[in-house]
Copies of this chain bind each other. A is one copy, B any other.
Amino acid sequence: MNIAKALEALVDRCVDVIARDELATRLAEGRPLRVKLGIDPSGPLLHLGHAVVLRKLRQFQDLGHQAILIVGDFTARIGDPTGLSTSRKPRTQAEISADMQTYAAQAALILDVEKAVVRYNSEWLAPISFADVIRLSARVTVARMLERDDFSKRFKSGVPIGLHEFLYPLSQAYDSVATQADVELGGTEQLFNLLMGRRLQEEEGQRPQICMTLPILEGTDGVQRMGKSLDNYIALQDEPSVMFGKVMSIPDQLIARYWQLATTRPKPEYEAIERDMQANELSARDSKVQLAAEIVRLYHGPALARSAHDHFEKTVVRKELPDDMPCLPLPPDEASLMLGPLLVKLGWAASNREAARLVRQGAIKVDGKRIDDEKHRESSWRDKVLQKGNHQFARLGAEQKR
């Protein structure tokens, strides 16, 4: 691939590229560029939101460049120094390594993890002295820090910002110095931190890294950014039929964006799809089915993508039962159980309260019939087919039929 073409492909999908001409210059040097991505292995579920940046990194890999994954273990080991958050306890080296294995297993669905370099930033941050911290801090002003979007909002609304929080972007910036990054990738919300790395490298006499940011992908709700806590995510490791169904559940106005950010299609192709949809030459429904099939193919291959598609057509479109259904064991007292507590016993709901909510929302069917009373009983649940939403089926207390 010639440089102009490589450049075109690399800047595609990016929101910021600072600066494009510098990237062109470095590509022209003909050496493997050091492409840095800071990762957080502590939330070990990777989803299509993470994939946007990871796929950009993979693109660099495919062009012969060096992917460098930076694990922020230095701050992870400190935990929350204010002691206010119980969720940010200090993590041990063993925990961090375990996290990293889970992370790598998922990232391998996108990256060539064998060729990626993994660096733990405690390697260079732990030995830094107070005097070094003062010298580093002198490179940046308080006003500049307060320009960062989240800091600015909190400062204006009087939400306390711990002084240590100002040191974190600085550490991340120093990671770029320590690894002599040529390029750093991140989501758009990372632009400030990326630019700080660029600036610090320059102050330390290095060539400033090129900062490339990628869009934040909306979740299946079509409103908020995809995230684990919002339950609007499509995990890279979701089962094919679940993944297919989740893509089918996104609102139509998100289809073009998913074509752009959740597939590997080059720009002319995803733009053509969008044009066709706008011109009504491609229906939203058809486009979405193709999109779902394409995304499942990326993570599970063509065969499983096809069967996920079939499964969807059969169970959702034609409302038939799927061929393969797990069998859930029933408790001995099953006959006395009401639907709500049964869902909890089976692990389909976390609490009676959630079970009741699911039932009342009409999400639960028994033998294909919607049940809207969580106190519903059957003389026996054995052999009944339980269904939650469009995608989750199970046969109760029977041998699995296949």
Contacts and interface: CB of A to CB of B under 8 A. Distances in A.
Given A141-B162, A143-B155, A130 B134 contact: no
Contacts of A2: none
Copy number in the complex reads: 2
State the majority secondary structure of interface residues on A. Answer: helix
A134 B164 contact: yes
Contacts of A170: 163
Contacts of A139: 163
Interface in A325-348: none
A130 B136 CA distance: 11
Contacts of A133: 130, 133, 164, 167
A311 to B, nearest CB: 50
Interface string A79-115: 0111000000000000000000000000000000000
A224 to B, nearest CB: 28
Contact of A162 (B82, B125, B140, B164): B140
A3 interface: no
A173 to B, nearest CB: 12
Contact of A138 (B126, B151, B163): B163
Contacts of A132: 130
Interface residues of A, number: 41
A128 interface: yes
Given A141-B162, A143-B155, A170-B163, A126 B135 contact: no
Contact of A161 (B128, B134, B141, B158): B141
A81 B142 contact: no
Contacts of A142: 142, 145-146, 151, 155, 160-163, 165-166
A121 to B, nearest CB: 11
Nearest to A151: B142
A126 B130 CA distance: 6
A131 interface: yes
Given A81-B134, A131-B78, A134-B81, A140 B126 contact: no
Nearest to A161: B142
A380 interface: no
A155 B170 CA distance: 20
A126 B82 CA distance: 23
A268 to B, nearest CB: 46
B167 A137 contact: yes
Contacts of A137: 81, 162-164, 166-167
A150 to B, nearest CB: 12
A138 B75 contact: no
A81 B163 contact: no
6 contacts: A74-B130, A133-B167, A137-B166, A138-B162, A139-B163, A142-B151
User: Ordered nearest first, which 6 A-B pairs have the shortest CB separation?
Assistant: A81-B138, A137-B164, A137-B163, A128-B130, A138-B164, A142-B161
Given A135-B164, A142-B161, 10 more contacts: A77-B131, A78-B134, A81-B134, A82-B138, A130-B132, A133-B133, A137-B166, A140-B163, A142-B165, A143-B160
